[in-house]
Amino acid sequence: MDSQGGKDFLNIGRMSKYRHINFDRYNGGMKRLQVPPLTDEQLAELEELYQKTTKPRYRTRAQIVLLSAEKRYKAEEIAQIVRESHMTVLRWLKRYMAEGIEGLEDAPRPGRSSTVTEAYRKRLLEAVRRRPRSLGLEYSLWTLRRLTDYLAEETGLRVSPETVRRELAKAGIVFSRPQHTISSPDPEYQVKKRRLKKPETD
């Protein structure tokens, strides 16, 4: 990586404005997530992705991993540099640690298939029966894609959302889109709503 690219990649100057922040306070008592030191091959892969990809989001993901592994920055510090949320940084660090460079892609490689294991099924059912926020995630409702991503991070096994849907169906769990309820401060709202639903009679 050339000197100019290194400056752009690390962007260390931004960190000075955050030196007054105690990042440990925002860790919620959770174990710090850090990518282990990289091998020469891993480093070369990440630098190639960062420098040659035409997709800015891929460059950001490679930067997240490099800052963790090479500079030993915490997720909160990395979030400030790359202008992403703390949870987004954690997601990509977990994905990389579970799947390597392929985990930074948007979807599994075409033609690659994975076999669901009993351990995977168990983790899937445990996860779907809990609220995402109780697992430290930044959203409150599950979708098939979110479950797929979460299980890939936790188990190192990536399958398609359709496979997740089938596994849930086997356990009697039917996944549907979240339903949004309309509310009103009007105390008579529910009464009026019921009246509107009644069919007209002659």
Catalogue the long-range contacts made by 158-161 (C-beta closer than 8 Å, 24 or more residues apart).
158/99, 158/103, 158/108, 158/114, 159/114, 159/116, 159/120, 160/108
Residues 63 and 132 in one domain: no
What pLDDT does residue 14 have? 41
Interacting residues of 190 by C-beta distance below 8 A, sequence separation 6+? none
Residues 22 and 93 in one domain: yes
* 96, 153: one domain: no
pTM across the whole model? 0.46
* 145 C-beta neighbours (distance < 10 Å), count: 12
Residue 38 lies in a domain: yes
Based on the fold, state whether residues 124 and 33 are members of the same structural domain.
Answer: no
Structure confidence by residue, pLDDT tens digits, 40-50: 989 999 999 89
Same domain, 82 and 30: yes
In a domain, 185, yes or no: no
**More confident call, 196 vs 39:** 39
Looking at the fold, whether 10 and 69 belong to one and the same domain comes out as: yes
Same domain, 10 and 86: yes
Q: What's the rounded Cα separation, in Å, for the pair 90 and 107?
A: 18
- Residue 132 in any domain: the answer is yes
- Residue 126 pLDDT: 94
Domain assignment of residue 154, given as a range: 118-170
Q: What is the pLDDT of residues 111-153, one digit of tens each?
A: 455 678 898 999 999 999 999 889 888 888 888 888 888 888 7
- In the chain, where do the E strands start and end? none
184: confidence class by pLDDT, cuts 50, 70, 90: very low
Whether residues 19 and 46 share a domain: the answer is yes
Reported as a single tens digit per residue, the pLDDT across 93-118 is 988 888 888 788 875 544 455 678 89
Residues 14 and 51 in one domain: yes
111 vs 36, residue with greater confidence: 36
| Residue 12 confidence (pLDDT) above 70 | no
Residue 138 placed within a domain: yes
- What pLDDT was estimated at residue 103? 82
- Asked whether residue 201 is assigned to any structural domain, the reply reads no
116 close to 57: Cβ distance less than 8 angstroms: no
**Angle at which helices 75-82 and 86-99 pack, to 10 degrees?**
110
Question: Which of 18-27, 34-43, 157-166 holds the top average pLDDT?
Answer: 34-43
Question: How many domains are contained in the chain?
Answer: 2
Residues 55 and 27 in one domain: yes
Mean pLDDT for the stretch of residues 54-74: 93
Give a yes or no: residue 186 inside a domain.
no
Are 9 and 100 within one domain?
Answer: yes
What is the C-alpha end-to-end distance of the chain, expressed in Å? 80
Are both 87 and 37 inside the same structural domain? yes
Whether residue 24 has pLDDT greater than 50: no
